[in-house]
Amino acid sequence: MNPPDPAVPPAFVVGPGRSGTTMLRLMLDAHPRLAIPPESHFVPAVWRVRRRYQRPGGVDAARLARDIVGTFRFREWGLPAEEVLDRVRALDRPTVADVVEAAFLAYAAHHGKDRWGDKTPSYGLDLPLIAGMFPEARFVHLVRDGRDVALSLRDVPWGTSDPVQAAEFWSHRVRVARRDGTALGPGRFLELRYEDLVADPEGVLGRVCGFLDLDLRPEMLRYFERSGRALPERVRRSHEHEGKPPTAGLRDWRREMDPVDVALFEAVAGEELEALGYERSTPRPSAGIRLRAGVRRVRTGLSRAAWRARFRAVLLLRRDRFPPSRRW
């Protein structure tokens, strides 16, 4: 196996959480050339605090690398920290992006592969930032019917059972990623629907491989055979279906979601649903539903404001850690 080639475009898989991005990551990571580690969460964070590492004439690459390998997300990669540190030491006048890429290249080399990628759903909120760090990067945006996402969000610790909050979460992430991805152009941004991937995994994966300049390999369709090894233990409970082949109907909002919750979701996210080709259950929500949704949106707005205040506080006060991943 040739060593990883840093000139090869990296691949980023993004999309609202619970939209099938883990399944797509496992499919792509099964390719013999492409390595996609568990979620990183540090790429945009590093850029936001880059001034910490700036020194006259360059970047304190050693300190930045130590901070990256010290995160608990990196520890879930199962990669010896020294492999990253050795690669960083070999860099000549590295930039912040070079140090970040060194971590991914070390992961690829550790697994005998020559290309790297990332799957962190929240990066859909940071496409311009990441595209600027890695000018050749390509982005695959995976979307799923937001009402099924709302059902799935009930089952994870960081999720919500409130259909209005779920609708705001989903619609905001879809809207931002589509806007910024479209600006990058079709050569760098590809959008897929989860339902199409499940219905025709070979055909849709063929499109993804073409977009990423990879050949479609049969082991990508057998990704589920290795999911237990590829997923950190901490997240396996939230991805119990990843050990199965692609299966339609794991969530079905028509059967499982209360009609009032459906109406509330559509009152908030109906335009995004229609833009992606998902039909509303009713053409227009009633005045009562719109009022209820509006009241709940105020509560969601307060929660969003509190999160943003916390985000800014961490940036200002905690010089020993990276800021949290973006939620909004």
List the beta bridge partners of residue 55. 58
* Mean pLDDT to the nearest integer, 52-63: 95
The pLDDT tens digits of the residues spanning 247-257 come to 888 899 999 99
Please give the C-alpha separations between residue 16 and each of 110, 125, 194, 251, in angstroms, as whole numbers: 29, 10, 11, 16
- Give the per-residue pLDDT at 310: 79
d(CA 15, CA 17): 6
Q: Which residues contact 267 (CB under 8 A, 6 or more apart)?
A: 164, 167, 285, 289, 290, 293
The pLDDT tens digits of the residues spanning 3-48 come to 566 567 999 999 999 999 999 999 999 999 999 999 999 999 999 9
* Mean pLDDT to the nearest integer, 190-200: 97
- Judged against a pLDDT cut of 80, whether residue 324 lies above it is answered with no
Least confident of 124-133, 155-164, 229-238: 229-238
* Number of other CB atoms surrounding residue 160 within 10 Å: 16
d(CA 218, CA 143): 24
d(CA 287, CA 178): 29
- Judged against a pLDDT cut of 80, whether residue 317 lies above it is answered with no
Tally of CA atoms within 13 A in the half-sphere of 246 that contains its CB:
23
Q: Which amino acid is at 245?
A: P
pTM of the full predicted structure?
A: 0.92
**Class (C level, CATH) for 11-317:** alpha beta
Q: Which amino acid is at 101?
A: E
Closest CA to 153 of 140, 164, 142: 164
Each domain of the chain, given as residue ranges in start order, spans 11-317
* 3-state class (DSSP) for residue 279: coil
* Mean pLDDT to the nearest integer, 270-298: 94
> Who wins on pLDDT, 130 or 239?
130
- Give the per-residue pLDDT at 38: 96
* Residue owning tokens 């259909």: 163
The pLDDT tens digits of the residues spanning 152-190 come to 999 998 899 999 999 999 999 999 999 999 999 999 999
* Residue owning tokens 């010896």: 80
- Give the per-residue pLDDT at 229: 74
- Give the per-residue pLDDT at 237: 64
- Judged against a pLDDT cut of 90, whether residue 120 lies above it is answered with yes
With bands split at pLDDT 50, 70 and 90, how would you rate the model's confidence at 107?
very high
